[in-house]
Structure 1
Amino acid sequence: MIVEDVIIYVSYFLEKLWRRQVINAVIMVHNSSDPKHLNCYTWDPYTEGHCGNQFKYPTVVGECLNEQIQSEKGLFSSKIPDQLSRCPVLIQTCIIEPYVIKKEEIVDENNASLEGIEVLLLDIIAQKLNFTAVYRVSEKYNTLAYTLNELASLRADISIGAIPPDNEKHEIFDFTVTYLDESVTWCVPSSEETPRWKNFIFSFSYQSWSLIVFSYMSCSILTWFLSRNDLLESLNYRNLGRIFLWNYSILLNIAIPKQPLRVTARYIIYAYILFCFIASVTFQTFLMSVLTEPIFEKQISNFDELISTDLNFGIMESHRRFYEADPKYKNILQKAIICDDIRSCLHNVSFYKNIAVAVPRLYMDYIGNRYINSKGRHLIYAFKSDIVSYPIEMLMKKGFSLLEDFNQIILKLKETGLLSKWQNDYLSETYSIEEMNEPEDESVTKGLSLEEIQIAFLALFIGIFVAVLVFILEHCWKRSCVIPVF
């Protein structure tokens, strides 16, 4: 009975020590038959099919007699074998592509089927150390904060999900060597296509339009001035309104019925015809390029342009400390929205165009090609410059016994370039997605859409409006000029 009580107490203390990450411990207990004789108890957590969860059977590894410790195998033999006999290691994940990716719809959150760069890394480590990687996810709380809370509560052994180094985290958890480099960049809505009517009007610069109007007005007035007192000249050239109409016809490449008789006026008209011909050819050439290749508004491409817009700002909670360290992000941090669901925020960027989101660049490179419109153009633009760069590491519960083994394997994989290869492999998959979403063959003949010829209707409606307005003014003028008969 006394022996059984000793075993219970020894098992209890060994379990408490194990829960506090004290792996190799020896408990010395007085022998019930000889008070001067101490038995040395310990346990082997990974023997006989156990996986660190069986504490009921401690073993005697030595004894202390006459102040001398005697042990055949030594008191502190290694408790962690090279092969873990397929024992499970619980891995809490934060899904962020391409580091951690869902293979299929998750049925069991405590044993999810995943893939990704970090999952591949852990699978190779698990194969090398002969343990079973059990991936846990939470679709409802897919945040780094929740993932680390699970690790801190000892409900998981390892945490992954593009985790940046942090001194506060290092005080609470063990951490591996870094194995990938990541950066954060701003993602903003892609610029809108310029309306076709605006392309038509702004096919020339303001200076060019001003020159055309000046040439038209000056040639018309000068021709009229030279011809107004010449009785042999046609009445059409002595009438300023008619000259304006004819010169407008020349500007539109429409022939006029008669040339002026006066030599100086004729030279002016000839020079004006040559000018209009060159301007018309230039305009039509540019117009063809506008109809075939759309022009876009100026793209927001740097931070200074971003803060001058009325866009909202979205950041990830795990990146908050990056902005706190930089004074220029102080105002942004005060009104920033925390993006717990990155895809939802990117959806607002691409379709509602009301927010700019800061996300990991590799994540954007991987998922960005899914945000493409029917014309094959990206809906999201990622800045070329980075907000910050940081390495990625894996976090473990404090005192994790396999840390050194993990680091050795990670360093070997990093030196061989496998991690970089996996990264490129996943990014190449996104290009195939982009190819599947390519627009139809442009060689197929298509009719002009209303959008492409809207400028013609706009000109027609403006002309009709002006004509009606002039008609009303003329009618009112004639009525006011009629002399009443008594």
Structure 2
Amino acid sequence: MHISLFLVVICALVESYGELVPVLSAEEEDMRISLAKCISEASDQNFKPFEVITISLAPILNDTSYYQSTALDGLLLPELFDKNKWTLLVKQPSWGRPSMFQSHTYLTFTKSDSYVIQLNDFTKIENQLHYLKRHPSWNPHAKFIIILTSYYENEGHLLEFITRRMWWCDILNGVIILADKNKAANFNIYSWFPFSDGSCGNKFNKLLHIDSCYDGVMTNNTDWFPNKLPPKMNNCTIHVRTLDYPPYIVKPQRVGNTSYYHIRKGLEAQLMNLVASTCNVYMQYEIVKNDSVGDFAWPANQSTGLMGALKRGDADIAVASLSATWQRHLNLDSTSAYFQDSVGFCVPHSDETSQWEKLSGIMDSSIWFGVIITVAVFIVIIKFLSHQKINPEERPIYADGGNVAMKILAISIGNAVNLQPKSNQVRFFLMMWIIFSLQFDTAYQTYLMSALTNLEYSFQIRTVDDILDSDLEVLFRPDDMKYFMGSSTTRQSQEIVARWKVCNDLDECLRRTAYKKDSVIAASRLYIQYAKSSYISKTGLPLLFCIQEQIVSFPVVAYMRHGFPLQHKFDNIISSINSAGYLQRFEQDLFQEKNFTGGFKNTSTEEDFLDVDVKNKLLTFGHIKPIFMMLFGGYVISSFAFLMELFLYKYAHRLKTFFRHKIG
């Protein structure tokens, strides 16, 4: 391929109070040629073909405190171009205008793989890096070559100054090329290993002289960009921001009066802790209150919550069931996906049908209507067949409709009939009624037992349309609203967005949905799956019902501040952990422990939210106690009437006998 390297050249203009020197001395000319050849040779050895190289050139200054600056553009650019590199020259960069990068075309910029930055004043390193950072191709994980073309007496101070500024910009793979003041046209190459000698990136004066170059010839031919991350990271502190968000983060415990927490349980907490033990770092957790994830808003491109902490550099990593968005990828680094989660609706579980409704609805009204018609038909037939003109042998009692009804009722409730019919016709129909009563009674008792023992519920919301048809409020975490805002053209999305309410405390919103039954909550499926088993009534009935329709399915990633030096190391470890099946084991163990120990904190009880009307729906002994009292009262009255009747009968019999003897 003709184009072996894509070269982006960016000339960062530095304020100058003099003019460029048109004529160079022989020594300066040799320095230019030697330096150009050294950079060309270094690019061959350390830069891969087809990589993107950003070159930031500095103009020559006429300053008496330095030797005259050495420019690269006259020799280096032709040297690189002759090797079939693509060259793009930008002399007056206008980076940093927010309007330039507000569209999705921001995603199409290729990140630079390497940087070559020339300095004629080492104090301008911050300006150079500032310009580069504001361009969408900025990549702090790239390889950096910093070139100083002037001589300096205090090289140690210079190297420490540049190294410190590079580390502030999260540059790990960087070398500094410094002109050798003791040997003309010779250049020394220095590199910094931030985690050597047990340090954690805080010893900026510990640079190593790794190589020298003269006229394109390397002294040691060493690798300028080796792996600077040791297997064990000296127990360096990694700042992690997260939310109290089960099952990803479970039971965080505050460390004294500080803002830090110990977190041992949770899918992502266990993942981060396993990463920490693998590479010997210390995860220092902080909890962001009010479930604030935050996101990036244009044109200021600022954020709050977890994302804001990463953007400002207040934290290194953020975890809390975070989904990938293009705004976050533009501003932050991330790991590969290690969980698959989704957002769905959970609604109040429908109430159990009251016992009165169960008793009244044991059989359909049409069945009772059919029974009444059947009774009437049997009464008419038996009365007709018992008429003396038609059947003179039959007892007269069966010719009366009221008596027939009493006999049929007695048979229905299992009582004996004292006067049985004589004719075969009437006996046949009574036998048919006995069979019908036996079957109907069996069916009724079966339905009765089923109604009293099985759970029956009222209407249950099962679809998004059912939610929209109800008068329930729709509660969302602010972070989850983006799934509807992007598709607000649909009728469902428009109606949900119009009705949504901010939920800053998922636990409180979940309790409200479960107990007050006046709202719908949209939340992570894993969160609901972990939490809903704690929302059970005293009778063992569920209080939440999650509908099958999903709002969106998304991969879960961990975000890191842009340029976090350990990003690739952590990403590789997380991928290995995920491939080994540890995350599935974490999930299985966590849910099993939750089921056995009730790990989800639910401080509310059913009585805190249960209405009096709901309590009265339950059929208890108190409801049927008046029936037994009335029955007992009837027994008492009937017993008293029997005793009175017996007493009066005996008293009247004695009076009758007395007067009979007197008269007689």
TM-score normalised according to structure 2 size: 0.59
> What is the rounded CA distance, in whole Å, between the counterparts of 2:412 and 2:432 in structure 1?
12
Task: Read off the aligned partner of 1:91 and give its amino acid letter.
Answer: V
Query: What amino acid is the match of 2:251?
Result: K
1:267-282 alignment runs, 5 A limit: 267-282=428-443
Write the mapping of 1:11-410 to structure 2, written as runs, cut at 5 A: 11-27=160-176, 43-55=192-204, 57=205, 59=207, 61=209, 76=225, 78-104=227-253, 107=256, 108-138=258-288, 140-145=289-294, 146-220=305-379, 223=382, 247-255=408-416, 258=419, 267-326=428-487, 327=490, 328-410=492-574
Q: Which runs of 5+ in 1 are unaligned?
A: 436-448, 462-486
What is the alpha-carbon distance in structure 1 between the residues aligned to residue 251 and residue 182 of structure 2? 61
Deviations 1:334-382 (A, max 9, x none): 2122322211111112211222222222222222221222233322222
- More moved, 147-156 vs 367-376: 367-376
Deviations 1:284-312 (A, max 9, x none): 22222333334333433333433333322
Change over 3 Å in CA distance of 1:453–1:241 after alignment to 2: farther
Is the 1:160–1:395 Cα contact (8 Å) retained in structure 2?
A: yes
In the TM superposition, residue 204 of structure 1 has moved relative to its aligned partner by: 0.8
Q: How far apart in 2 are the matches of 1:105 and 1:321? A: 32
> What residue in structure 2 maps to residue 439 of structure 1?
none
Q: Is the 8 A contact 1:39 1:60 kept in 2?
A: no
In the alignment, residue 86 of structure 1 is paired with which amino acid?
N
**Partner letter of residue 192 of structure 1?**
D
Q: Is the Cα contact below 8 Å between 1:367 and 1:430 reproduced in 2? A: no
Q: 2:241·2:318 contact (CA, 8 Å) conserved in 1?
A: yes
Question: Are the equivalent residues in 2 in contact too, given 1:369–1:433 (CA < 8 A)?
Answer: no
Which residue of structure 1 lines up, in the alignment, with residue 583 of structure 2? 419
Report if aligned partners of 2:179, 2:186 keep a CA contact under 8 Å in 1. yes
Deviations 1:125-147 (A, max 9, x none): 22222222212213x33332211
2:585 partner letter: K
The alignment partner of 1:162 has SS state of: strand
Partner SS for 2:553: strand
After superposition, the Cα gap between the structure-2 partners of 1:150 and 1:289, relative to the gap in structure 1 and judged at 3 Å, is same
Distance in 1, Cα, partners of 2:552 & 2:484: 9
Mapped to 2, the partners of 1:276 and 1:153 lie a distance apart of: 82
Q: Which runs of 5+ in 2 are unaligned?
A: 1-65, 67-151, 295-304, 600-617, 631-664
Shift of residue 155 of structure 1?
0.6
Q: Distance in 2 between matches of 1:185 and 1:220?
A: 60
Cα offset, 1:271, TM superposition: 3.2
Change in Cα spacing, 1:152 to 1:225, as seen in structure 2 (3 Å) is farther
Q: Distance in 1 between matches of 2:342 and 2:388?
A: 78
Higher relative contact order (CA 8 A, sep 6+): 1
**Distance (Å, rounded) in 2 between the aligned partners of 1:296 and 1:315:** 27
More displaced stretch, 384-393 vs 353-362: 384-393
SS in structure 2 at match of 1:383:
strand
Distance 1:282 1:63 in 2: 97
Letter in 1 for 2:262: A
Do the aligned residues in 2 keep the contact of 1:194 with 1:297 (CA within 8 Å)? yes
Question: Structure 1 pair 315/257, CA: closer, same or farther in 2 (3 Å)?
Answer: farther
Who is 2:17 aligned against?
none
CA distance in 2, matches of 1:347, 1:47: 52
What secondary structure sits across from 1:322 in the alignment? helix
Q: What is the DSSP-based 3-state SS (H/G/I as helix, E as strand, rest coil) of the residue aligned with 1:61?
A: strand
TM-score (normalised: structure 1): 0.78
Question: Shift of the alpha carbon at 1:176?
Answer: 0.9
Query: CA 1:179/1:192 → structure 2, altered by over 3 Å: closer, same or farther?
Result: same
Deviating more after overlay: 40-49 vs 88-97: 40-49
Q: How far is the alpha carbon of 1:154 from its aligned partner? A: 0.6
Q: Is the 8 A contact 1:41 1:62 kept in 2?
A: yes
Quote the offset at 1:211 in angstroms. 1.2
% same residue: 23
Is the 1:177–1:407 contact (alpha carbons within 8 Å) kept by the matching residues of 2? yes
Determine the structure 1 residue equivalent to 2:88. none
Q: What letter matches 2:333 in structure 1?
A: D
Aligned residue pairs: how many? 446
The range that moved more, 6-15 or 320-329, is 6-15
Report the Cα offset of residue 202 of structure 1.
Answer: 0.9
Q: Report the Cα offset of residue 227 of structure 1.
A: 6.3
**Farther-moved stretch of structure 1 (21-30 vs 376-385):** 21-30
Q: Give the match's secondary structure for 2:290.
A: coil
Structure 1 residue 224: deviation in Å? 5.4
SS in 2 for 1:141: helix
Q: Deviations over 1:425-460 (max 9, x none)?
A: 11211232479xxxxxxxxxxxxx962684685899
Are the equivalent residues in 1 in contact too, given 2:264–2:270 (CA < 8 A)?
no
Over aligned residue pairs, what C-alpha RMSD do you find?
Answer: 3.8
Contact 1:314 1:338 in 2 (8 A): yes
Matched with 1:451 is 620
Residues 415 and 283 (structure 1), Cα distance of their counterparts in 2 relative to 1, 3 Å cut: same
Q: Deviations over 1:161-197 (max 9, x none)?
A: 1111212211111111111111223222222221111
Q: CA offset at residue 47 of structure 1?
A: 3.1
Counterpart residue identity of residue 89, structure 1:
I
Q: CA 1:265/1:84 → structure 2, altered by over 3 Å: closer, same or farther?
A: same
Deviates more, 1:72-81 or 1:320-329: 72-81
Q: Structure 1 residues 25, 246: closer, same or farther in 2, change over 3 A?
A: same
Larger radius of gyration: 2
Cα distance, 1:39 vs structure 2: 6.6
Q: Which secondary structure state, in structure 2, belongs to the residue aligned with residue 277 of structure 1?
A: helix
Q: Distance in 2 between matches of 1:339 and 1:63?
A: 59
